[in-house]
Amino acid sequence: MKYTVTIDVEEEGLFGGVYSTGEASANNVYELDRLDPLFLEQGIRPTLLVSYQVATKKNIMEKVHNLKNRWNAEVGAHLHHWNTPPIVIDTIPAPAPSELMSSDLLEAKTHSLLNILSYSDMAVPSFRMGRFNLGPQMFQVLEKVGIKVDSSVTPLRKAYGGPDHLCAPTDPYFPDSLAPTHVGNSSVLEVPITILPLVKGVDRWFEFLSNSSFFPGGAAEWLAMNLASIAAQPAWVSLNIAKTAVRLHKMRGGDCVTIFFHSSELAPGLNPLNPAEEDVQRFIKKLGEFIRWLQGSFHAKCYTLSELYPIYEPQRSAPADIVS
């Protein structure tokens, strides 16, 4: 089995329902040092997905460089499309859904982020969209700019304003660029966050209900997220639930676990999941226990996002059965 640890390395102020288009502090990045004992002891090589507001700060990018070298990590891009230039003010409440932006604007924002990361002498092979707001238009931008691996798809979820990931596969796959939650022959490998339907096939029912008039707006998505899915995410759920999700994934033929959390979850009070110091410490302990269990129970090996590309590349020419 394979696993990958992905961290959204981003600015503060994102969990209060306000999405400012202006400058924002990113001092929470210094708290990533807390992961040193775990990552060095267990040989964990994360993928650090860096936002524009982090990339513009020289001192904080020096910290990212240090972490990259110390952990032998990968640095990727994390596009917050509401505060990455060019900034276009419109009447849509922030964060504006990416599918309501023009392709040219999304491409310009992506270039702004990639260019400033490249100034830091970093190749950027991997990507994640802010708030997982990835639809066909944004996916085609990724193909155009040369991203190799994306990790923006969240099975059993439907993003505000558009992108529907309810029926997405749960293992890495090469998508159809016009429908990124379907298997195709894109040049970009999709590595979805590991979230599974509790009952195989129930995701298709929720997709039907979401697109029908039977349920009030958002009800199907809420039920899918809260009652019909199980996540292998120590940041979100208990250790036992995360383990159960992995066992279920493996039983269904799954071969890769994608772990996700934010840099702000290492700083007390900056993320609602960890309001106090003891919550941060509890999360780090749980993350360590989960990864040690993965390694011990499944002989799981850690990969960065881009390292998964050559492993799954044969699926482009000879598609295998994809776990859903």
The pLDDT tens digits of the residues spanning 148-176 come to 999 999 998 887 766 788 889 999 999 99
The model's pTM is 0.93
Q: What distance lies between CA 70 and its chain's CA centroid?
A: 22
**Token output for 66:** 């240090």
- Residue 188 forms part of a structural domain: no
Decide if 208 is inside a domain.
Answer: no
**Domain presence at residue 167:** no
HSE-up (13 A, CA, CB side) for residue 199 = 7
131 within domain boundaries = yes
pLDDT digits over 84-96, tens only? 999 987 767 778 8
Per-residue pLDDT tens for 212-239? 666 666 776 767 677 788 999 999 999 9
Alpha helices by DSSP H, the chain: 36-42, 52-55, 58-71, 103-119, 136-145, 202-210, 219-226, 239-251, 277-298, 309-312, 314-317
Whether residue 180 is contained in a domain is answered as no
Looking at residue 267, which CATH number applies to its domain? 3.20.20.370
Per the structure, the count of domains in the chain is 1
Q: Is residue 191 part of a domain?
A: no
In terms of residue numbers, what domain contains 142?
2-149+232-313
Distances (CA, A) of 263 to 71, 102, 141, 256, 297: 15, 30, 26, 22, 27
Cα end-to-end distance, the chain, whole Å = 17
At residue 210 the predicted structure's pLDDT band, cuts being 50, 70 and 90, is: low
